[in-house]
Structures are given as C-alpha cells and as structure tokens.
Amino acid sequence: MAAAPRYAALGCYSNFSFLTGAAHPAEMVETAAMLGWQAVGIADINSFAGIVRAHIAARDAAIGLIVGVRVRPVDGPDILVHPCDRPAYESLSALLSEANMRGQKAAPRLYLADLSRLPANTVFVVVPPVHPDAAYHAKLQQLSQLVTGRLWAGACLYRDGADEARLALLATEAAALGLPLVALSNALYHHPQRRPLADVLCCIREKQRLDDAGYLLSRNAERHLLSPDEMARRWRHYPDALKQAAVIADLCRFSLDDLSYEYPDELAPGGRTAMQELTYHTWQGAKKRFPDGVDDRVKAYLQHELALIKKLQFAPYFLTVFDIVRFARGRGILCQGRGSAANSAVCYCLGITAVDPSRAQPLFERFISEARGEPPDIDVDFEHERREEVIQYIYTKYGRQRAGLAATVITYRRKSALREVAKVFGLSRDVQAALAGEVWGREKTGFDHQALQAAGLDANDRRLRLVLHIVDELCRFPRHLSQHVGGFVITRGRLDHLCPISPAAMPGRTVIEWDKDDLDALGLLKVDILALGMLSCIRRAFDLLQLHYHRHLTLASVPPEDLATYDMLCKGQSVGVFQVESRAQMAMLPRLQPRCFHDLVVQVAIVRPGPIQGDMVHPYLRRRAGLERVTYPSAELRNVLQRTLGVPLFQEQAMQIAIVAAGFTGNEADQLRRAMATFKKHGEISRFREKMVTGMQQRGYETEFAERCFRQIEGFGTYGFPESHAASFALLVYVSAWIKCHYPDVFICALLNAQPLGFYAPAQLIAEAKRSGVPVLPVDINHSDWDSRLVNAPDAPDVPDALGGRYGLRLGLRLVKGLARGEGERIAASREPAFATLDEVLRRADVSARALQAVAAADGCGSLGLSRRQALWQIRRLRRQRHDELPLFAQTSDDHHTAPTPELTTPGPILPGQILLGEEPQVTLPVASTGSEVAEDYRSLGLSLKAHPLDLLAAPLARAGWQLCHVIGQHGDGRRLRLAGLVTMRQRPGTAGGTVFLTIEDGQGQANVIVWPQLTITYRDALLRAQIIGLVGRVQRAQSVTHFIAESLFDLNGFLRHLDPAATSKTRQMRQTRMKSRDFR
C-alpha cells in the first residue's frame, strides 16, 4: 500500500464543546501527533474557549494547529470556520462576540447570513448531518452563493452501514455546486475508550437517562482519531477528499502567536510620555512615603525598577493600576495591592501596595523578569461590597469593546459529577444520597471497596462500578465558563478582535472566553480587581469608630506596634482576625509569640504546606525559643536568612539562596520560582537539582547542606508564601487584631455585617463578643436595623478611656433566616413611631406575611409584648389583601394617599392596605420550655442568646458518662476523657494526609480535636453527621497549646430530643434542630 498522504485531522471536538466533546484539547492534539498527523483542526462549538490549550499542546508536540470554530447557525448546519490570517481571525472573533450578545448565556444566535461578513481569506467547511436531505442541499447551495471565502463540502464516516451511499450523495451534491469534497475526522474523543463518557455527556446534555437515550447516542465507538494509514484505507475511493484536508491545512497558517496585543496608551498631561508620567508619579509618591527623605537603598530599587519597566514598555500598565487605585481611594473604598507586586518599590510609591521596601528585601525579579518576557501581574484587593463601583469605572473609562473580565473554567468536581452520572444511569435517589454522603474527603481518591460498603452499597455491582469509573473520567472536565473573580483584560484596540466576548450572568458585566492560564500563555496583561471581605469589615469598623468613638482611622494611621494587641495574639485569642483565625494559626500564635510586624509576616507565611513539608517550621520555632543555636553556613547566606533565624520561610529567600549560594542569575532564580509554582502539576522543579547542588558545592558548601536547601525549596513547590504577599496580609492581620483588642464591640459588629466571612459562624462570633464583655441584645422588630449595630446598653461597661467596648451589640435583621433584605430594610425604615401591633408592621412596612413570620420565628416581637408562639399564632390569622397575592384587588397605600379601590368579592368596606382578621376565639398558648426556645432559635437564626444547647444537655449527657468539652482545660497532658460538644468546624487540609481537625464547643468554652486518618474511615458517619459529637481520647498539651487526640467518635444527635421533650410528633422529629458547622477541605 502506498504511503498515506500528508493529512490534517479536521473538525475535531474538545471538551470545550461543553457536554459534547470527550477529550481535553491537549489529549486530542497529543494523540494526533502520536498517530502521525502533521496538523490537527480543533473546532469547538461557537467558541474559542479551548483553543489556547490546544495551541500550547501543539507547540509542545510539534504539530500544526488549524485554528477554527464550529459555528452552529440557527438556520443551517454546522460549519467549520478557519481563519487564514490575523484579519480573518479578528473578524471571526468579533462575529462570535456579536452572536453571544444577541443570544443568552451559552446560547449565541448566529445566522447563515452573518457569515457573508467574514473576509475572503476565511475557509468554510460545511459539516453534513448524518442523514443529508434536500434541506441540507438547499443550505449548501445558499452558502455557495453567500460566503466570499473559500467553501468546502465536508464528509464524515460513521461506520453505520450507510457510509457508501452517504458519500456518493455528498460527492454528487458537491460536484453539482462546484465545491471540493473534504474528509473530516469529526472526532468526539481521542481514544475509543472514551465512548462511554461521550454517551454520558450526551445524556446529560439532552437530560435523558442512558436507557432512554436511544438514537441520540452514537452507534459505535468510531468517533475517535484514526491513524493516517487507517484514514487512507477508509477513504481509498475518495483520495481527493483527503488531499483537500491537506490543502486547507496549507491555507490556514494562522497561529495565536500572530496575535499582537497592545496595552492601551495612558494619556499624560503636558505631552509627557507614559514613562515620563510614571516616573513623575513614582518620585512624587516617594516624597510622600518617605517625608524624611528617600534613602540610597530605596533610590536604587526605584531606579532599577523604572529602567526595567521602560525597557519592557510596561509603563501604561502601571499607570492603569495607579489610576484605578486612585479612583477607589477618591471614593473612600479601601484597597491594597498584594502578591508579587508587593516586591515593587514603584508600586509602594504609587500607593498600590503597602509593603515598605526599606523594611524588607524586595526581589523585583519575583515580579518582573526580563528573561521571562511575561507581563507583570498586579493583584489589588478592594472592599467586596464596593468592588462593583471599581469594575464599572473600568468599563466606563475604556468601554466594553476594550475591557472585559477573564473567564474561569468551571469543572466537574466529584460530587457534581457523581450527581449527573448517577441520574444518567438511573440510580435511585437513595443510592445517589448514599454516594453523595461519602464524597467528603474523597475528592482526589474516589471510592474504594470499603467506602462503598460503608455506604451500604454492593461494591461488586457492575453498573455502580461503571458509574464510578465514568465519574473519575468526568472529574476536571469543563462544565461551563464563568467570570474570573476580578481579572480584567484591557486593550488599546477592540478586545473582541482578540477573543470573543460574552455577557456575564451578572448584569453590567462582560467576559472573554479565556482564563488566567490562557492569558499568561499568550502574554496578555490583566489587572486583578479582587474582592476581600476583611477590607469591607475594616471599613465598617472604621465607620463605627468614627460614629461612636469619634476616632478617624485609616489603614496607615492605626497605632503601630501596640503591646496589648501583641499580648492578645500571643495568647491565641484571634477569633475573627484576618488570616490567623484558623485552627492551625491559633495553635501557632502562642508558640511563635509575635511581638512586631515582621513576626506577623512570619506568622502568616509559616502555617503553609510549603514550610511545613520542607521541615522549616520546627527548626524556626526551636531557634526562636532559644532551644537551638542560630547558625549560618556563610556570611552571604547570613544576609539572606538573618531575619528568619537561618531558616528559609519565604519564596524570595529560596530565590536568593539560589543566587547567592549556587550562582543563579536573577532570571534563573525566577525560573526556579516558577517551577516551584507548577511543581504539583508538572514536577519540573527537579531539573534544577543538579544545577543548584553543584553550584553550592563549587562555592564551598557541604553536599548535605545543599541537598537540604533543595529539599526545602521543593517544599515551597507544594505551597509557599512569598514574603511580599505575607507582608501585605500581615498589615490587615495587625489592623483587624488592633480593632479586636481595643474595640471588641466594633469588631464583632463589623464582622457580623460582613458575613459570610472567615472561619466562624455568627453563633461563634457572638460567643466571642460575650467573652469580651460586650452585651448582646436580641433581634427585635422595633429595635433592629438590617445590619447589627452598637447601642447604649444599660448593662454595657462604662470605660472612661474609650478603650474596650462601652456599647451593647443589637443583632440585625440580616441574621433572620428567610427574610429578604428589602423587606428587612422596610421594617427598619417604617417604625417611627414604634410598632404596637403586627398588623401595623404589615400595613406601614408593606411587607409580606411570610417576612413577618420569619421575624416572629426568630422571637423578634418581644417589644410588641408577644412571645414567639403568640406572634406566630397571630400571624396565622392575618390575611393581607394585595394585588400581587390576590389579583381582584388593586395595590394602594395609605402612605401614598391613593384612592381606595371598590371591593368586588368581600362584603363590607375594606380600606386600602387593611388587614383582615379571621374570627377566631382567643386562646392561651402554653409557655415553651427553654430547650424548645433554644431549638427554635437555631432553626431561625443559627444561634441563641438564651442558652447554649450543650449546657441544657449537660445532665442527660452526664448520666450517659459524657463531660462537656470545656473541662479539657482542667486536665493535664495524657489524661483520658469522654468529651461531648457541638461541632462548629471540620477541616481536612489537603496536606494533612487525611487527618481531620474538629472544633467543638459548649456554653463555656471549646476544644480542638485531632482525628487521625484511620479513624476518619472507621468513624466516618459520626465524624460527618454528628452535630453533637462524643469523643473518647486523651489530652495533649505542648507549651500553651492544648489538643484532644480522638480515639473513638460517637454520634450523640439523639440527645437533641432532650431540648424539647414535648416535641414527640413525627413532624417535629423530622424538623430536628440543625446546628450547622462550617466545614473546610
């Protein structure tokens, strides 16, 4: 047989044809290269979302990539569209953007007539249906007259017994229209083993069970890539069709490398260039940052950075970020740069970051590297509640054709994949629920035989095993595109010439189809406009300090190096404090004993997988405690490691060790840093081992020390913090800790109003407020605003020096479950004069009975003289007549003085807005028990001010041999106990080897529990499902840190029935109190 002709595999899908393609772009490209193709055409449906990944894979595999898209017109068949050059690509991208804007999310509207607007240097290939008919022939004829580019009639083989007749028909029709026939691969997947997954994706897309899908599914597994020899054999009767594929490959030489990205010019007054403008603002900022003069070291940093910025032509980018930050600060929006940008003295002088280069050792190559040839990446955090103002400013300044948010690829995780695949296979809801209940902690490992048995399932069931196999394949498959958390791409020309733009789900936003990795791969600049909840919390705290304590503070003016603040942190009292409130951080604080700002930088960075796995934590703590001598291998490394006692804790130090001790250049050290960042994905860091170890040996360092240094650097590959990033966060650690220390009332109030935020639920925050001496007042319809607020409480401590909480905390209506913000705000705005009755609330606040019921269920009607039961009983008798609830009546309002509407069906006059009370006799309701009240509080608020449930259960628990968990503080190391507590938090860090950390509490304290990996398997049900948990184990004390090491776990939820012994009906049992924990992977 003659050698196969040079061939291009055209019309291949990737899994970015969402719920259709069953191969990652890289899988398709790499398989094509392995099989011997010289080019492969990836064309996803109406989208370029996966083309950058295909581009990278093609470059690495040394195979040609035919860039294209499979457009799916409303009024015609699929058409492969391939641009031959950059202008053709730009026109196609703009057309896809227009179609996206016409349609709905993920459903663009494109018509055959639109294709006529694409330039002549565009290739069109019409993809025939499986059963081509007269309608298809008519559309093919219409296209031959419509498009100005080059048109081919495509043909596919389906191996369904009809290929010969189908090809003969398609060849005849093409010849009649004078169109060349081209052979299409039309592959859905790269290997036939993916056929089952493709069938499942089809069923998910079509919302069908597998047993009912029928002809929707492929008849065989032939929709995979074939070898050139096999293609030549199958197309032997139509060899010209194969040659036409090669013709198209020769024409379509456009590459994504041809895209020319130009950052927008920033206008400068007085005819200055962007670089001159940047230099001016940098030195002006330096004068403000250093009012006593800029020292020589900082001047050297600035001169070096400005020279490199000029050489790489990044000045407009820096000016853009400077302008955005200046806008935010002008609006009073808190913001702060972080990440690698904090290595930049220029960013500090521009006010973008808060890390003073005179107090650190910035490594600018960590931020910008000449050899890397990639753009800088500046991340700026803004108050999460006001970030939208900044986003809309960017859209307003640059226009929606020049600015857009980057995409985020939402992929299947194990739980979502399991839910979808189980439905397709028709597994019962019971089986689905059993599997879903076993997912936590198995995101990476999946289900083994033991896990299935634990779920009560037959581990040998073939259908179940197939479901789990397909779930494994589906994990990490793209599900759809969403918007990035804040990455903005801004261009000088039209952004839609670079990448298609779509409307985001959120009104007023647009998003491009490429994600952060795509942008980095193509060298496209982005500005990260990120949201940080703690900034919103701090802003609220500053406002409260101004209102109640007449203190005007900013991030820069909070009193520095406050002794009381550090004393508090050294005791591990950091609930709610930014970045140091986790279990691990709270345990580390008493050991590290932070006493200055740099200590906080270390505190932020040290509790990370990198330092932990690099065995850096314990040596540092021993040296800090004076238990180990501080040594340095050389004077050069002393300069690098002195601030961290000879132990490398930061990525910058790892880079500096490579430079100083191993002879790396700055750019080589940056390559090492990038290898650290991609270690988990690619494992590339090992290629630097020989260079580093050899370089250190040549400079006189011992081999053992060189190997140890490299092992530590490998630890950073898992997850290590750059010092610049840690320093940016440390500032917020200090500010939030200072507020908590001196104004606990302000701090807890601000935290509650910024929820959801951090590790702790409102119940734990309120418990912390009480421990800090802050009186907490309940939600009340006459006293609560939407937000929680500070009030003059009669039992609040009066502190004359204005330090410490002197106000009480009135809980806000935002805590009431089921109450919408609009209705809560109307209640607060309508209570002057105070409400006297429930019908007054309904009439004056214009809220629904459902909203009022939510407030009543939260026991929020005390000021009306009504208990929870009395309020709920009255609300059940109320009937509100409103036009949206009863169309026979028109909406009117006393407040707006509108005329009454004549009644149509109800006898007697009904005034506008009147509430009708059913004629029911007055009843005396039984008084609820304290336990019942607490249970209802948790259902309606997620907390209770009346009592802690564990305190009410102390007696029955004691009779069963359980002690409340706070007693752990009364016992020494090694003491065995049987503890009971309410689970408030579960953590299973990915680097903890399967260990789970629990936090449990009662009304008087809490305990931190360690559950070793084997126990998480043996006691999985109790671990995951218990709200009230019993633990048998022993106390572990190390210095001032106490843990409880669990040996066995028990589900004590049954004790919840003691909260309300009268609640014995089936309905009440089904409404068992839910005290929800916060669980973290």
Gap between the Cα atoms of 1058 and 1050, Å rounded: 17
CATH of 947-1080, one of 3.40.710.10, 3.40.50.720, 2.40.50.140, 3.40.640.10: 2.40.50.140
Tell me what pLDDT residue 556 has.
80
Tell me what pLDDT residue 830 has.
92
Tell me what pLDDT residue 59 has.
94
Gap between the Cα atoms of 624 and 627, Å rounded: 8
Tell me what pLDDT residue 128 has.
95
Sign for the pseudo-dihedral over CA of 1021, 1023, 1024, 1026: positive
Angle at 119 between CA 115 and CA 123, to 5 degrees: 70
Would you tell me how many other CB atoms lie within 10 Å of the CB of residue 191? 15
Judge whether 498 and 491 are in contact, CB under 8 Å.
yes
Gap between the Cα atoms of 674 and 685, Å rounded: 9
Separation in Å, CA 268 to CA 272, 273, 281, 387, 526: 5, 6, 11, 26, 21
pLDDT, tens digit (0-9, with 9 covering 90-100), for 919-941: 455 667 777 788 888 889 998 99
Residue at token pair 């912390």 = 768
Would you tell me how many other CB atoms lie within 10 Å of the CB of residue 1003? 17
Least confident of 59-73, 194-208, 349-363, 412-426: 349-363
Query: Which class for 594: exposed (0-12), middle (13-18), buried (19 or more C-beta within 10 A)?
Result: buried
Is 744 a residue whose pLDDT tops 70?
A: yes
Least confident of 130-134, 365-369, 742-746, 1044-1048: 365-369
Would you tell me how many other CB atoms lie within 10 Å of the CB of residue 745? 27
Q: Which fold has domain 8-258?
A: TIM Barrel (3.20.20)
Is 255 a residue whose pLDDT tops 90?
A: yes
Domain extent listing, the chain: 8-258, 260-383, 413-475, 609-720, 947-1080
Gap between the Cα atoms of 21 and 44, Å rounded: 8
Tell me what pLDDT residue 179 has.
94
Is 761 a residue whose pLDDT tops 80?
A: yes
Would you tell me how many other CB atoms lie within 10 Å of the CB of residue 597? 17
DSSP labels, 602-634: HHHHHSSHHHHHTT-HHHHHHHHTTSS----SS
Using DSSP, state whether 101 is helix, strand or coil.
Answer: helix
Mean pLDDT of 564-581: 94
Closest listed residue to residue 568, CA positions, set 759, 764, 771: 771
Residue at token pair 């909840």 = 533
Q: How do strand 510-515 and strand 527-532 relate by DSSP bridges?
A: unpaired
Q: What is the largest CA-CA distance in the chain?
A: 103
The packing angle between helices 617-624 and 583-592, to 10°, is 30
Angle at 927 between CA 921 and CA 933, to 5 degrees: 125
DSSP secondary structure code for residue 74 in this structure: T
Judge whether 355 and 724 are in contact, CB under 8 Å.
yes
Query: Mean pLDDT in the chain?
Result: 85
Cβ-defined contacts of 955-959 (< 8 Å, 24+): 956/1055, 956/1058, 957/1052, 957/1055
Judge whether 1042 and 968 are in contact, CB under 8 Å.
yes
Gap between the Cα atoms of 633 and 662, Å rounded: 13
Judge whether 624 and 649 are in contact, CB under 8 Å.
no
Judge whether 199 and 473 are in contact, CB under 8 Å.
no
DSSP labels, 852-870: HHHHHHTT--GGGT--HHH
Least confident of 245-249, 845-849, 1032-1036: 845-849
Least confident of 196-210, 868-882, 959-973, 1011-1025: 868-882
The packing angle between helices 163-177 and 134-146, to 10°, is 30
Cα-flanking dihedrals φ and ψ of residue 465, to 5°?
-65, -35
Using DSSP, state whether 474 is helix, strand or coil.
Answer: helix
Gap between the Cα atoms of 857 and 1071, Å rounded: 14
Gap between the Cα atoms of 709 and 731, Å rounded: 29
Gap between the Cα atoms of 351 and 349, Å rounded: 5
Least confident of 267-276, 1031-1040, 1065-1074: 1065-1074
Separation in Å, CA 499 to CA 85, 502, 521, 947: 15, 10, 14, 58
Cα-flanking dihedrals φ and ψ of residue 886, to 5°?
-140, 95
Query: Which class for 711: exposed (0-12), middle (13-18), buried (19 or more C-beta within 10 A)?
Result: middle
Least confident of 265-269, 271-275, 575-579: 265-269
Tell me what pLDDT residue 104 has.
81
Percentage, residues of the chain above pLDDT 70: 85
Separation in Å, CA 891 to CA 280, 844, 876, 882: 61, 14, 22, 6
Quote the distance between the C-alpha of residue 57 and its chain's center.
Answer: 26
Q: E strand or H helix at 675, and its extent?
A: helix 666-677
Separation in Å, CA 246 to CA 128, 151, 249, 972, 1009: 20, 15, 5, 79, 65
Residue 10 pLDDT grade (very low, low, confident, very high; cuts 50, 70, 90)? very high
- Cis ω before 833 (30° cut-off from 0): yes
Tokens of 723: 């010092």
Separation in Å, CA 1065 to CA 723, 840, 937, 1068, 1070: 59, 35, 19, 5, 9
Q: Where is pLDDT greater, at 206 or 1069?
A: 206
- Tell me the pTM: 0.83
Helices vs strands, H then E, count in the chain = 43, 26
Judge whether 245 and 66 are in contact, CB under 8 Å.
no
